[in-house]
Amino acid sequence: MDFGIILAGGRGKRMKAQRPKPLFEVLGIPMLEWVIRSCEAAQAGQLCIVKGYCGEQIDAYLNGRYPTVLQAEQRGTGHAVMQAADFLKQDREGCTLVLCGDAPFLDADTIRKARELHTAQHNAVTVITACLPVPTGYGRIVREGDALAGIVEEKDADETQKRITEINSGAYWFRTGDLLDVLDSLSCDNAAGEYYLTDTVALLLQKGLRAGAYLTEHADVVMGANSQRDLLALNDHARMREIGRHLDNGVIFDCTDGVILSPDVTIGAGTRILPGTILRGKTVIGEGCTVGPNTLLENCTVEDGASLNYVQAYQSLIEKNVRIGPFVHIRPNSRIRQGVRIGDFVEIKNSDIGEGTAIAHLTYVGDSDVGRKVNFGCGTVTVNYDGIMKSRCEIGDHAFIGCNTNLIAPVKLGKYAYTAAGTTVTRDIPEYSLAIDRGAMTVKEGYSLRKFAGKLDFNKSTSIRNEKKK
C-alpha cells in the first residue's frame, strides 16, 4: 500500500494572517487543494495531512475527506513526518510520497514518473528535482552516475557545488519501512533546532541503501509561497499558464488585463474573453461566445454563441445565443433559455426564462417560470417573498408585462396575457386577458401652494396665483 503525506502545518509568519499557509489560494483554489488533486490524479495512495498552526481550519476545509495528524510544534519537515508515523505503520511494505502543502504546481505526471523511477532503481528514497538557471537558495543535488550521492545546502556548498543547477524540490518518494527506520534517528542538533527531512537521505545512504533523483521537466514544481509577494507570483504564474492553455485551444484574448481563470474552467474555440473576466469553479463556456468585459461566472454553463457583458452569474445555465448585460446579476439555479435578451440592471434568481423572452431593464425576476417570447416592461418585480415563505410566479408564452407591474406570488399569467403599466397582480390572469389595476386619479388643485405657504418667495407665489386665475 502506498501513502501520501502532505505537510500543511506551516504558519507562514510573513503571510501576516491568522490562517494556515496552505489554505491561501491560487486562482481561487487553496494551495493544499492543488497538491491533493495532483496526488489523487496520480493515484499516489492513501493521504494523510499534517496540520499545525490553526489546524482546526485545515479540518474544516477537508471536512473529513482525509485523516489529519497534528504537529503541535513546528519543528521542521522531519518532525512533521514523525507525527504521521503511526499512519505509515499500517503497511511498511509500500512506498510513501511526502509533499509540501504550499507547493501547488507539483503535477500528477511528475509524481507518477518519479514513482516509476523509484521502483525501477530499487531506491530507498527518490528525490524529485528540477533545474533552475539561478538556483540560489536551494539545496543542490550531487549525483554519482544515476544515483543520488547527497543534498548539499547552499550555505554548505563549495564553489563547484554552487554551480550545480539541479535542486531539491522538497518532494520525495520513500520505501515506507526504510523511512520509518530512520525517522527516529533524525537529530535537531543544528542552529534552528529543527528536524530536517533532507537528513533522511544521508541516514539511508549510511545504511548502504540506494538513493535516486527524478529530474522533472516542470521547473515550476519548486515554486512555493512564504509571503504575500510570493503568493502573488504564484497567482501570476498560474494565471498566465491557464491563459496559455486556452490560447492553445483556440480561445481569443484581445488583452489579458484582469482575466482570471480557474484551472477547472473549459472554454470552446472561437470564444472571446475580454478584460476583467473572472471564471471560477467548473464553469464551461461554449464556442463562439463573447464573455466580458468585467464579467464574473462561477460554476456556470454557457452555451455556444452567448454574449455576456458586465454580468455576474452563479450556478446557472445560459443557453445558446443569449444576450445579457450590462449590469446583470444571475443568481443560483437559474436557466436562461435560447435567444433570451436581458438588458441593464436586471436580476434573475432561481428562475427559468423561456426562449426568446426579453427583459430589457430595471427588473427583478425571482422564483419564476417564464414561458417563450415574454416581454417584461421596465420596473417589473416578481414579489416572491411574503416575509415567511418564498412563492413562485408562472408566466405563460407571449405574455406582455407592462412597466412597473408587481406580480404578487403565487400568481399565474396565461399565454398572451397582458398587464397594464402600474398594475399590481394579486390573482391569476386567464389567457388572452388584460389586467388593469388603476384607481381613479384625483387632482387636487393648489396643493403645492398650500403645502409651501409661507415658504415660497412672496412675489413668486403671487405670480403663480395670478397666472392660475388667468
Give mean pLDDT, residues 284-303.
Answer: 98
Please report whether residue 411 resides in a domain: yes
Domain CATH number, residue 9: 3.90.550.10
Q: Which of 218, 237, 329, 361 is catalytic?
A: 361
Output the pLDDT for position 12.
Answer: 79
Considering the domain architecture, whether residues 140 and 272 belong to the same structural domain is answered as: no
First-to-last alpha carbon distance for the chain, in angstroms, is 102
**Based on the structure, what is the number of domains in the chain?**
2
Q: Across residues 293-297, what is the average pLDDT?
A: 98
DSSP letters along 141-181, please?
Answer: EEEETTEEEEEE-GGG--HHHHT--EEEEEEEEEEHHHHHH
Q: Which range of residues forms the domain containing residue 115?
A: 3-222
Query: Same domain, yes or no, for 96 and 196?
Result: yes
Q: Quick: pLDDT tens for 185-241.
A: 999 888 778 899 999 999 999 999 999 999 999 999 999 999 999 999 999 999 999
**pLDDT score, position 62:** 97
CA 267 to chain centre: 16
Residues 210 and 357 in one domain: no
Task: Quote the pLDDT of residue 439.
Answer: 81
> What is the mean pLDDT of the segment spanning 87-104?
96
- 450 pLDDT more than 90: no
Instruction: Using pLDDT thresholds of 50, 70 and 90, give the confidence band for residue 49.
Output: very high
pLDDT on residue 97: 98
For residue 339, which amino acid is it?
G
Q: In this structure, which amino acid lies at residue 434?
A: L
**Mean of pLDDT values over 296-308:** 98
Do 64 and 208 belong to one domain?
yes
pLDDT at 153: 86
Confidence band for 442, pLDDT divided at 50, 70 and 90: confident
Burial of 448 (C-beta count, 10 Å sphere; 0-12/13-18/19+): exposed
Q: Are residues 202 and 97 in the same domain?
A: yes
Predicted TM-score of the model (pTM): 0.89
Confirm if 60 and 261 have CB atoms less than 8 A apart: no
Amino acid letter, 298: E
Regarding whether 337 and 296 lie in a shared domain, the answer is yes
466 falls within a domain: no
Looking at residue 320, which CATH number applies to its domain? 2.160.10.10
Would you say residue 52 has pLDDT above 60?
Answer: yes
Which has the closest alpha carbon to 3: 85, 94, 126? 94
- Say yes or no: 317 and 184 in one domain: no
Same domain, 201 and 280: no
CB 399 within 8 A of CB 374: yes
User: Residue 456: is its pLDDT beyond 90?
Assistant: no
**How far, in Å, CA of 135 to CA of 165, rounded?**
6
Query: Is the domain of 48 the same as that of 185?
Result: yes
Q: Is residue 448 part of a domain?
A: no
Band (pLDDT 50/70/90 cuts) for residue 458 is very low
Residue 64 has pLDDT above 90, yes or no: yes
Residue 29 located in a structural domain? yes
Residues 210 and 336 in one domain: no
Tell me whether residue 361 is one of the annotated catalytic residues: yes
Structure confidence at residue 114 (pLDDT): 98
Dihedral over alpha carbons 162, 165, 169, 174 (to 10 degrees): -90
Would you say residue 444 lies in a domain? Answer: no
